[in-house]
Structure 1
Amino acid sequence: MAQNHEPGRDCPRCPRLVAFREEMRIKHPGWHNAPVPSFGPLDASLLIVGLGPGLRGANATGRPFTGDWAGDLLYGTLLAKGRASGVYDERPDDGLELIDCRITNAVRCVPPANRPTGEEEQSCRPFLIEEIASMPRLRVILALGGIAHNAVLTTRKLKKNAYPFAHGAIHPLPDGPTLVDSYHCSRLNTNTRRLTEAMFHQVFDSAVAATRK
């Protein structure tokens, strides 16, 4: 039985994503091809929120950011900053463990072309709401990209124009955790140097520092 903050394997909420999921199950029967559960301890003080599973990454492996380009930078940073232990080998059974950190996505199923619709974001939002509510020690949410940023604000029923997305922005939220923004660690952003490793390390340091305030 699925936890309240985790959709079941055959979650029916989004018809387009269900159809895409079924298509992928036929094409790649050995892949995960289901909603991707969060990764890391629920008693963590830091929650990292991404957009959604990558087609050949988390959708294939079943663990957030595992097996795609974005995972190299994200998990490399977590290991370098002491928020993970073990070795990241792009597999869910590589033994990697997160330390005081948890990772989830605003949309749990892979969207075609990595573009969820507004309706799909809304349909999946209850899982993010429950995710945040299930973390008793949560102090900081690190949003990777504008969609994740907006999803977090919507779960708190906050106006987006009051908390504009910007790389490195730090938004203390009323009656809630601090929201820290970063450009998404996607291949496009890293290849174009919109986001460098140094930039990501810096914003991650800011997020960690905010957990201690």
Structure 2
Amino acid sequence: MSSATGPEEPDFPAATAARLDGLGLLDTAVTTCRACPRLVAWREEAARVRRRAYRDWDYWARPVPGFGPPDAPLALVGLAPAAHGANRTGRMFTGDPAGDVLYAALHAVGLASRPTSVHRGDGLELHGVRITAPVHCAPPENRPTPAERDTCRPWLARELTLLQPALRAVVVLGGFGWQALLPVLRDAGWELPRPQPVFGHGAEVTLRHTEPGRELHLLGCYHPSRRNTFTGRLTPAMLRAVLARGAGLAGVPCRWRPGTPDT
């Protein structure tokens, strides 16, 4: 690889992602990326200055790849890894309160093999769903800049392309992910309505592709952040309902329906 497309160059994601032919190759390439200096500095600083509860952890401190089977009909798109969550554990939505809520809901719906996720080697499996994000490095204050989002965009674009032809539905967790995803879908040939669909919890849009006969269901869900779950803006039942709806539209077996008791 030439120095012009090395991992520390801003064009590394764009130059690399498009030529990768499998999700395994993509995930490996993602973990080597150093294209955004501010994010590299922050993720590595978090690993050096650890929280007391995690002082014995060997932090992942690299970009966090997507997680889930390569033929998943359903995708979840979040925001970015948390500094002491996925940046520590190496798996999306693992090691922080948002992940605790999400994996409990995924298990309740039947999309995860267990209700908790501890680290990337804990044996947890996802069924019919893959989790990813528009930004793969932990950002300060959980706020990537527009430039960082755009630099990271080719990874998400290629990931969604490689999930085809199985992909049938996408659940987007939060407004940031929704806004980041729309241009990716447009560039991939999905026809966005005008005005563009607005994010909201329970929002649902069916997109048609420029190739006849293809459609994709896009669903919105509040992000399972500590603020949203603590205030009750997003309850476990609300999250389960959107996940179950997404699974149904994607054709993924689902064992939960509204009114089903918690297990």
Identify whether the pair has TM-score above 0.5, normalized to the shorter chain: yes
TM-score (norm 2): 0.75
Q: How does 1:80-99 map to 2 (within 5 A)?
A: 80-86=108-114, 88-99=116-127
Aligned length: 213
Q: Aligned residue for 1:143?
A: 172
Q: Aligned residue for 2:75?
A: 47
Whether 1:12 and 2:49 are equivalent positions in the alignment is no
Q: How does 1:1-213 map to 2 (within 5 A)?
A: 3-4=25-26, 7-28=29-50, 30-86=58-114, 88-136=116-164, 137-157=166-186, 158=192, 161-175=195-209, 176-212=215-251
- Work out which structure has the larger RCO, using CA pairs closer than 8 Å and 6 or more positions apart in sequence: 1
Q: Structure 2: 5+ residue runs without aligned partners?
A: 1-19, 51-56, 187-191, 210-214, 253-263
| In 2: Cα distance, 1:152 partner to 1:160 partner | 16
Q: Structure 1: 5+ residue runs without aligned partners?
A: none
TM-score (norm 1): 0.92
| In 1: Cα distance, 2:35 partner to 2:240 partner | 36
| In 2: Cα distance, 1:140 partner to 1:146 partner | 17
Q: Aligned residue for 2:8?
A: none
Identity %: 43
Deviations 1:44-102 (A, max 9, x none): 10000100001111010000011110111111111111111145242222211000111
Secondary structure at the aligned position of 1:206 is classed as: helix
Checking the alignment, whether the CA contact within 8 Å between 1:87 and 1:95 is kept in structure 2 is no
Checking the alignment, whether the CA contact within 8 Å between 1:150 and 1:160 is kept in structure 2 is no
Shift, 1:161, TM fit: 4.0
Point out the more displaced range, 154-163 or 74-83: 154-163
Deviations 1:142-187 (A, max 9, x none): 1000111111111022478421101001111221421100000011
RMSD of the alignment, in Å?
A: 2.1
Secondary structure at the aligned position of 1:92 is classed as: coil
Instruction: Give, as a single letter, the amino acid of the residue that structure 2 aligns with 1:39.
Output: F
| In 1: Cα distance, 2:196 partner to 2:248 partner | 23
Checking the alignment, whether the CA contact within 8 Å between 1:146 and 1:165 is kept in structure 2 is yes
| In 1: Cα distance, 2:208 partner to 2:143 partner | 30
Checking the alignment, whether the CA contact within 8 Å between 1:7 and 1:35 is kept in structure 2 is no
| In 2: Cα distance, 1:75 partner to 1:199 partner | 14
